[in-house]
Each structure stands twice: as C-alpha cells, then as structure tokens.
Structure 1
Amino acid sequence: MDLRITAGSAKGRRLRAVAASGRSPLRPTASKVREAVFNIIGPGIEGARLLDLYAGTGAVGFEALSRGAGFVVFVEINPRRVELILRTGLELGFSARMEAHRMRALEYLGHAAGRGEGFDFIFLDPSYSSDELAMALPFIAAQGILEEGGLVIAEHDSKRLLPESWGPLKLKKRYLYGDTALTTYR
C-alpha cells in the first residue's frame, strides 16, 4: 500500500502501514478523500488542534500536521499501528506536535472530556461495517470537546445516511466520493 502526504511541509513523504488482519481491517483514507477533508477545513487547519479517531495509518493526522496543524491527537486500538504512528511522527519531525493513544475511541473521548480538552476539528473514520459512529458522535456532542466553531468530519460508506443532528451537533453538509461519504457537523 503506497500512502503519501499530499500537501504541506511533508508533501510526497511516504507513510507506512501495518498489514490488515481479519479482526482489524485497514482501509486508509484515500488521497482524494484526504484532499477533500482539507478543502473542507481550508486555512483553518493552521495552528488548529485535530483529533484523529480510529487513526489507522495516521494519514489524516499526518496530513494535518504537514499542512500546519498546531497539534494532533491520534487514537487507535491496534498496538502495532500506534507504534507505527509514533515512529512515523518521529521520522517526519512531528513528534513534538502530536501524541498517540492506544485505546478505544469512546474511552479516549471520556478521558479528553474529563481533562477539559477541546479540539477545533474531529475526524472519525471507523470501519464502515461498525456502529462506532452511532456511539461516538452522540458522545462528542454530549461531552463538549468540540471547540466553538469547530467541525466534526465523519468518513463512512456512502450508502449510509447519518442523522441531521446529534444533540447540539447539526449536519452542515454531506460530500460523496464514490463509495465514500464525508458528513460534517458543527
């Protein structure tokens, strides 16, 4: 699998990926979808705090750092992937502006809320076959970890329609890219 950062200070640099296993499938966010994510975010990424839930390869978070994000938190349950994210951050010179946690997304969200952490952007990309979005989005809405004016971006199967709102989070727009959809909430 050939993954590269598409823009910014690390443009063209390769990202490594741990092979998928039956219990832990890996479907990295395609480069055209990553570019779309950052077209949606726009210049707001400069200095922003981004939470990359279900990080997998870390491609979205590393793209954010390359484009000037101030800090990125990666959350991934697979220990080999977390190790690779940390190593990649070191190789790319981003380790001072990132942290990676090996835990379930909902567990991290609880810790973040308890510590009063806030994020300008929250990107979620769980397995398309899971119900994780239906659990994580209401949790994000209830915990107040999205900064005022912040944006939640959920990547999911384009056949799946997400609700118009999750508590205070309201659907902003839905974008389609073949089998992939990005649904944004504010």
Structure 2
Amino acid sequence: MRIIAGQFRGRMLAAPKGDGTRPTTDRVRESLMSAVFSQRGGFEDAVVLDAFAGSGALGLEALSRGAARAVFYECAPEAAKVVQRNVANLGLEPARATVTRADVIERAPQFARPPFDLIFLDPPYAYDAMAVLGMAAGLVERGVAAPDAIVVYEHSLAGNDASALAAAELGFELASRKKYGDTTVDVLRAGERAASDND
C-alpha cells in the first residue's frame, strides 16, 4: 500500500497484519479523495479526523494532499502501532499528526481547534450505522467538528439502507454515493439540523 498523490506520493505504508482491519484499496481511495476534492475544492488547510484509522492511509493521504492536521483514532493495539510507525516514517510532527489509541465511539474527541472539517469513517462493516454516524453528528453538535463538515463513510453495500436512514435522521445531506464491489462510499455534509443544534 502506498500514498497515491501529493507530497508523499509513492511512499509505502505498513498495514496491520491479520483480518482485523480492511485497508481501503488504492482504487477506492483515489476515487474517495477525488470526491472529497470536488466537495471541498481541495485539501488545503483541512483538519482531519481519521476515526477508524487502521493503517492511517486515509488521513495520511489527506495530509500528503495538503491537509493541515490529522488526528487518528484506532482501538486495536497492533493497528495503532502501525499508524504510529507510518506517521514516523513520513516524518510528520505531532502538530500535524497525532494518534490516539481508543474506541472513537466510546471516547470521541472532546476538543479540536480549529474544528474538524473532514471526517473519515471506515469502521468494520459490522458496526451499526447509527452509532458510527451518531458519533460524527455529536462532534458537529458540540462544535468539535465544523457545522459544514464533510463526512466520508465507507460501509458495506448491504448497509446502504441503514446508512441512508441514519444519515437522514441525524441531519446529514448525502452529497454523493459510489459503489465498488461490496463496498459503498457515502460523502455526507452536516446539514441544517446539526448546524442549528450547535448554535
């Protein structure tokens, strides 16, 4: 696995061993980044939360493309070590990349200044869509994420209906949905409800 574009283009990334994580393929990652670019107009100065980091590939790709800062959450000890190693191998300082070993749903970030404006959600497919998106909605409601944050949610094709229902109930607007085999990538924007809850 390697960084696809930007400052660290071509640099190799380590991936956690075993089947506990499901790294996003290069093809899906490139398409996902293109969707974010279209929605956001680029990655410059983005403040990123890579909430189920795995190898950290999504957050590191965003940093390579110009994001200002990324925070990585990973609850599996071995995977968290891999993220730390990838961050170190790219020479990223703590001011740009920090790794937290924790369950992001149980211990979501309580503070971010500036707030997160790009959130990557790539949890194990068994995770409940309402729990995953509810965590992101909570960040917006508490001001930890920006009122117009972009949320990228990678889930199973079988979870399309559950994701759409959860997103609608939590006030997210579906900007795009793309399918790759048994994987779906939803690009969501925090909607008026989440923003008003934060007023």
What is the CA-CA distance between 1:78 and the residue it aligns to? 1.1
Q: Are the counterparts in 2 of residues 53 and 105 from structure 1 also a CA contact under 8 Å?
A: yes
Counterpart check, 1:183 vs 2:186? yes
Q: Which runs of 4+ in 1 moved over 3 A?
A: none
Tell me, which stretches of 5 or more residues in structure 1 are unaligned? none
Q: Are the counterparts in 2 of residues 142 and 167 from structure 1 also a CA contact under 8 Å?
A: no
Task: Classify the secondary structure of the residue corresponding to 1:4.
Answer: coil
What is the CA-CA distance between 1:38 and the residue it aligns to? 1.0
Equivalent residue letter for 2:61: E
**TM alignment of 1:146-165, pairs within 5 A:** 146-161=145-160, 162=163, 163=165, 164-165=167-168
- In the aligned structure 1, how far is the partner of 2:153 from the partner of 2:78? 24
Equivalent residue letter for 1:100: V
Task: Classify the secondary structure of the residue corresponding to 1:45.
Answer: coil
Aligned length: 177
- In the aligned structure 2, how far is the partner of 1:15 from the partner of 1:62? 9
Counterpart check, 1:136 vs 2:139? no
What TM-score, normalized to structure 1? 0.87
Q: Are the counterparts in 1 of residues 3 and 10 from structure 2 also a CA contact under 8 Å?
A: yes
1:45 to 30, 35, 43: 43
Task: Classify the secondary structure of the residue corresponding to 1:185.
Answer: strand
Q: Are the counterparts in 1 of residues 55 and 86 from structure 2 also a CA contact under 8 Å?
A: no
What is the CA-CA distance between 1:51 and the residue it aligns to? 0.5
The residue number in structure 2 matching 1:124 is: 121
- In the aligned structure 1, how far is the partner of 2:68 from the partner of 2:25? 23
The residue number in structure 2 matching 1:107 is: 106
What is the CA-CA distance between 1:178 and the residue it aligns to? 1.6
Q: CA distance change for structure 1 residues 116 and 67 in 2, over 3 Å: closer, same or farther?
A: closer
Equivalent residue letter for 2:124: S
What TM-score, normalized to structure 2? 0.82
Q: State the identity %.
A: 35
What is the CA-CA distance between 1:116 and the residue it aligns to? 5.3
| Cα-to-partner distance string for 1:110-147 (whole Å, 9 max, x where unaligned) | xx23x35521111101111232x320212321342331
